[in-house]
Structure 1
Amino acid sequence: MVPPADFRSYYGRPIVRPAVWRHDIAAYLFTGGLAAGSALLAAGGDATGRPALRRAGRVTALGALVASTYFLVHDLGRPERFHHMLRVAKPTSPMSMGTWILSAFGAAAGVSAVAEAAPLLPDRGVTGLARKLLPPLGTAGQYGAAVTAPALATYTAVLLADTATPSWHAAYPELPMIFAGSALASGAGVGLLAAPTAQAGPARRMAVLGAALELYGAHRVETGKGILSEPYAQGRPGRLLRAGRALTAAGVAGAALGRRSRVVSALSGLSLLAASLVTRFGIFEGGIASAKDPRYTVVPQRERLARRSGEAP
């Protein structure tokens, strides 16, 4: 009898080529989620008559989107590559759809953020006309951004899961949940940081919902994928994700305790923002680590083949 073959790869080299993306893409994941969460915060603040939340959400959404676009274009290497992606719309390509989502969101968020400057314009002539027209246009842009925000927050998760990178691909059911929760938590962090405690009620509720989604999804990824959970629990990715859990818990606790303390509320907002940042980097680096080790490609393949052989009649 021939003994079962041990795991080997050719000189220990990776079987799946690791993604060539640099940490610009990890930052792009974070800023895109922050823009989406801030747009939802702005819409909620406007709908409930909380101008501080609306203002903070609108301005942060535009600023985060500009940063996200910069990180994406910088990683592409040549700025015209972003423009070239707009020449076609390919529904089967997460990157193509993401480019259009990013552009649509950017136009809406830009209008809503510019509208915040309307009260500063002189009330005469052309500027007076702009002062009258900008607020309704800003409201329309704000709700347009809120409608596209869920797609902006989650398409990057689909983009990662659609690759051959083992630990990203295996986590395709959970990554959108993690990214959506992270976006909500970061948007809540902006609200807790920028708004008075009397106006921060929606931000606190966003923090609880976002933290629940993020923590549940991260737990599933770190414990429910067999050997492919290892890259998320070991080394630098594991440290980042554990830090993200601790910061998220601290942020939610601070949001609950900071109803009357502006300082505690602001600190909890910073904690949620930091949690979103390290979580995105942890997911990014966990996937890269799984592609570099051939064991994470071969062992799951052999397990799937063994299961299929056992199921065959």
Structure 2
Amino acid sequence: MTEGIATPGAGWRRADGWVGKKKDGGGKRRRSGRRAVGEVAMVDDAEFTSYYGRPIIKPPVWKTPDVPLYLFLGGAAGSSSILAAFADLTDRPTLTRVGRLVAGGASVASVGWLIHDLGRPERFLHMLRVLKPTSPLSVGTYILSPFSAATGATAAVELLGWFPRLKRFGGAVGALFGGPMATYTAVLLSNTAVPSWHEAHEQLPFVFGGSAMAAGGGLTMLFTPVDEAGPSRKMAIAGAVIELAAMHKVENDHGIVSEPYHEGRAGTLMRAAKTCTAAGAGLTAIAGRTRVGAIASGTLLAAGSLLTRFGVFEAGLASARDPKYTVVPQRERMAAREAARALGEGEARSATR
């Protein structure tokens, strides 16, 4: 038997959305759902629920902190590899070295967190057996693998001081995959059925790309002399602006599915992320040319990027657990299609007259 919910003036509403009309005392059905004058509601106004309160979609099985750390480290590695290649071309040896080491260390660490989330290392190897262009997960595996191999090897030879030509080649390969590495995870998340990720599929790549730029710029600022860190400062400020602008649209342009970004644990994380990112960008512009300012602003930018990944991840999980974020947008789309169809039929009738 399907569980139902009493709704004043409308009778019983079942969990599948069916609404039954309540009969009057004479046995006739009321034509209107409006409450009669003087009628007293016997039950409270019903709130949206689902069948036995169960989620409609299965929440992701990805774990915290494994996946958010993987997202953050991969993005920071991607932008740092690009900075290192640019610094190599413009004769900034310290920034080149720092960028390569940050990219290599972060990429290897990101793979480690991913494998830890998978549970067994061989699962990652199984992902390399097939390349499926229509799957963001499959394509992402073939972005992550050559990127982490190239940047990890480049960082190793940078530390050992061997094969300078190999360092430059590995740095170029890492920079080639750096942009996709910084953004493909956003495509991966938004390709799922999780409402707060899927509805923001146009903005999430910009959020993750800007966040990666802020992180890479901030981390390299920490360990680079200020006279060589000009590209890091510019990348960090540009990334912070992109992240904040795109995240504003994610949080405000998608109706009910934007709610999880403002509520609970995700809301707290996102507010902290915006504070750190905005403060880091402002401090970079004001005092980034001083050593103390570079350290403080770089730390704030990296922290803001990390908090953004955790906040986006938590918002998605919250939207998957609550069925209203799945059903309400579906009903809104159905109503919009019905309205468009009715409008088209009305115009067609008018044209035939």
Partner of 1:88: 130
2:244 to 209, 215, 233: 215
How far is the alpha carbon of 1:306 from its aligned partner?
0.4
Structure 1 residue runs of 4+, over 6 Å off?
none
Can you list the C-alpha shifts for 1:50-107, whole angstroms capped at 9, x where unaligned? 1121111101111111111111111111110101111111111111111111111012
SS in 1 for 2:73: helix
2:282 pairs with 1:253: yes
Q: 1:281 is aligned with what amino acid?
A: F
Partner of 1:73: 115
2:328 to 299, 302, 306: 299
2:57 pairs with 1:16: yes
2:53 pairs with 1:53: no
Contact 2:105 2:152 in 1 (8 A): no
Partner of 2:156: 114
Partner of 1:144: 173
Give distance in 2, aligned partners of 1:287 and 1:8. 19
Can you list the C-alpha shifts for 1:232-253, whole angstroms capped at 9, x where unaligned? 1111111111111111111111
Give distance in 2, aligned partners of 1:201 and 1:61. 18
SS in 2 for 1:198: coil
2:127 pairs with 1:98: no
How far is the alpha carbon of 1:259 from its aligned partner?
4.0
How far is the alpha carbon of 1:146 from its aligned partner?
0.7
Q: 2:51 is aligned with what amino acid?
A: Y
Partner of 1:164: 193
2:221 to 192, 209, 214: 192
- Give ranges in structure 2 of 5+ residues lacking alignment: 1-30, 35-45, 346-353
2:84 pairs with 1:42: yes
Q: 1:186 is aligned with what amino acid?
A: A
SS in 2 for 1:53: helix
Q: 1:83 is aligned with what amino acid?
A: L
Contact 2:210 2:241 in 1 (8 A): yes
Q: Does 1 or 2 have the higher relative contact order (CA < 8 Å, sep 6+)? A: 1
2:301 pairs with 1:263: no
Give distance in 2, aligned partners of 1:214 and 1:89. 31
Contact 1:232 1:241 in 2 (8 A): yes
Can you list the C-alpha shifts for 1:212-256, whole angstroms capped at 9, x where unaligned? 111111000000000010001111111111111111111111211
- Higher helix residue share: 1
Bigger shift: 95-104 or 280-289?
95-104
| Percent identity between the two aligned chains | 54
SS in 2 for 1:243: helix
Return the index of the structure with the highest Cα Rg.
Answer: 2
Give the 3 Å change call, closer, same or farther, for CA 118–27 of structure 1 in structure 2: closer
Give distance in 2, aligned partners of 1:107 and 1:78. 20
How far is the alpha carbon of 1:111 from its aligned partner?
2.9
Partner of 2:41: none
Q: 1:65 is aligned with what amino acid?
A: S
- Give ranges in structure 1 of 5+ residues lacking alignment: 120-130
Partner of 1:178: 207
2:231 to 202, 205, 213: 202
How far is the alpha carbon of 1:114 from its aligned partner?
2.4
Contact 1:98 1:155 in 2 (8 A): yes
Contact 2:108 2:152 in 1 (8 A): no
SS in 1 for 2:227: helix
Contact 1:192 1:255 in 2 (8 A): no
Can you list the C-alpha shifts for 1:96-149, whole angstroms capped at 9, x where unaligned? 111111111012212321231354xxxxxxxxxxx4xx1111111111111101
Give distance in 2, aligned partners of 1:3 and 1:181. 50
SS in 2 for 1:21: coil
How far is the alpha carbon of 1:292 from its aligned partner?
0.6
Q: 2:109 is aligned with what amino acid?
A: A
2:75 to 26, 33, 37: 33
The TM-score normalised by the length of structure 1 is 0.92
Give distance in 1, aligned partners of 2:155 and 2:172. 12
